Amino acid sequence: MVAMNERTNALRATAVVGVLALTAACGDDPVGLPGEDLRADEAGFLAVRMSGLGAGAVDDAAVRMSVEPAGAAGDLAVRASSVPLGLLRTRSCPAGGSMDIDGEFNMTVSMTAEGTTVELTFEAQKTMVDCAFEREDKIFVVNGSLEISGARKRVNREPSGPQETHIEGVVTISVEGTDRQRTCEIDIWSVANHDTMTREITGTFCGHDVDRVASTDG
């Protein structure tokens, strides 16, 4: 009986040592196991940068489209028209790769004595090809196709009210130089306030809740 108890205790001690060793090994590894999900801070960073890149491309197109239509000068009656306008924007990503936005704007123009109001809605496909973002000496590479939609309003060519952008879809994210890679869903809103020059980014990114505020140029 004594010998049996000694063997049982020895087995328990071995199991405890094994668990402690595994726990220590996991704690010492800042990168994580292959296929590990993004950490919450990494997801927040990418949500801010990816939404900013998409919203910025749309804003540039909206500025070009908000110029007062020909023949509008002196026309003081309220006049509204809806005009579908092509949208094709290509941008280089901050650390390499590219992002294309291809879709349609719908524009409504209202002209009164007070000035010209241009309201734009859009739906497009956002394609990211090896689109890279750098953070703390890590390069995050994003590939995938996303749906992007939203609205813009400009009064006398200046932004008016919240400028909304919604992005959703599935992307594959890898970390350059490591075996970390994960395919996951994102569903985020970016709402810009040009009075405060900030954007509020909310939603979910690769299983993490996101609620951040960033500058409109970031």
Identify whether residues 46 and 23 lie together within a single domain.
Answer: no
Identify whether residues 5 and 98 lie together within a single domain.
Answer: no
pTM above 0.85, yes or no: no
Identify whether residues 101 and 174 lie together within a single domain.
Answer: yes
Identify whether residues 77 and 109 lie together within a single domain.
Answer: yes
Identify whether residues 112 and 152 lie together within a single domain.
Answer: yes
The amino acid that residue 113 corresponds to is: A
Q: How many domains, the chain?
A: 2
Number of other CB atoms surrounding residue 180 within 10 Å: 20
Whole-angstrom distance, CA of residue 129 vs CA of residue 73: 44
Identify whether residues 90 and 108 lie together within a single domain.
Answer: yes
Identify whether residues 20 and 42 lie together within a single domain.
Answer: no
- Give just the sign of the alpha carbon dihedral 122, 128, 131, 136: positive
Identify whether residues 205 and 165 lie together within a single domain.
Answer: yes
Identify whether residues 3 and 63 lie together within a single domain.
Answer: no
Walk along the chain (218 residues) and give the pLDDT tens digit of each residue.
Answer: 444 444 444 444 444 334 334 333 333 333 333 556 689 999 999 999 999 887 777 777 766 666 645 444 444 444 555 556 667 788 899 999 999 988 888 878 777 777 788 888 888 999 999 999 999 899 999 999 999 999 988 888 888 888 899 999 999 999 999 999 999 999 999 998 888 889 999 999 999 999 999 987 76
Query: Do strands 158-159 and 181-193 pair parallel, antiparallel, or not at all (unpaired)?
Result: unpaired
What is the domain extent for residue 25?
1-30
